[in-house]
Chains A and B, each alone.
Chain A
């Protein structure tokens, strides 16, 4: 494998909500509300978070995973049409190595039962994964050893 590479793909997710498009959009737009449903904050130790919700504004997120990996997510909002569309680009990096960079389009529309959200992510998969995979294996080896010890006890 070469030391630098990029592979590309895209995917679409459709979700329906009972709430109106305006309310779902607001949950993306308001930093305090967004932190309440954002994965990063629910499950990881955030060391830094800021969000400037306007075209050209940045969302910055830093955390340290339990294994010590430093995770960085940098986002820039490219297009915002309230309450119908948000377009942003974001990159994820672990210990300074880029994992992926994406362009994401989120569309909100009212429906008879509430609203529909359509998320399209166009993604470039980058080389930082090679490092991450090595670290994961290291962690798994540790867990395997622990399991053996527990089983033996």
Chain B
């Protein structure tokens, strides 16, 4: 299956929108390390399950993650075709920059606090 993301401008907009949120980027980071359940993904972010489900729905619509249900547990994973091709690489680079800018922001705030 070709990546739905790389195939159209609309797909790209959806992809970038999906990655525009800090919680969703954190979810993608965690899923990049391996499949996880909704509660596994909600816990480190300290968000409620319905909120986590909404974020995951956006990521799934963006073609970044996919899920399957085994018994009562729905397991999410990175869509195998998600990070494929130029556009997806750009999305990864953008997410990486934003992650670094978040860290830079926090570092600058920390410097402010440590001032007498």
Contact = CB atoms under 8 A, between A and B. Distances in A.
A and B pair up:
yes
Interface of A: 7, 9, 11, 13, 15, 17-19, 23-24, 27, 33, 36-39, 42, 99-100, 102, 117, 119, 121, 123, 125, 129, 133, 136-137, 140, 143, 146-147, 151
B108 interface: yes
Interface string B56-80: 0000000000000010000101101
Interface string B91-116: 00110111111011111110110000
Given A15-B101, A37-B107, A151 B89 contact: no
Contact of B89 (A15, A129, A147): A129
B108 A39 contact: no
Nearest to A36: B107
Contacts of A17: 104-105, 108
Contact of A147 (B75, B87, B100, B106): B75
Give the contact-size bracket for chain B: 20 to 34
B7 interface: no
Contacts of B11: none
Given A13-B97, A143-B35, A27 B108 contact: yes
B8 interface: no
Contact of A39 (B70, B100, B105): B100
Contact of B107 (A13, A33, A100): A33
A37 B109 CA distance: 12
B90 interface: yes
Contacts of B13: none
A24 B104 contact: yes
A11 B34 contact: no
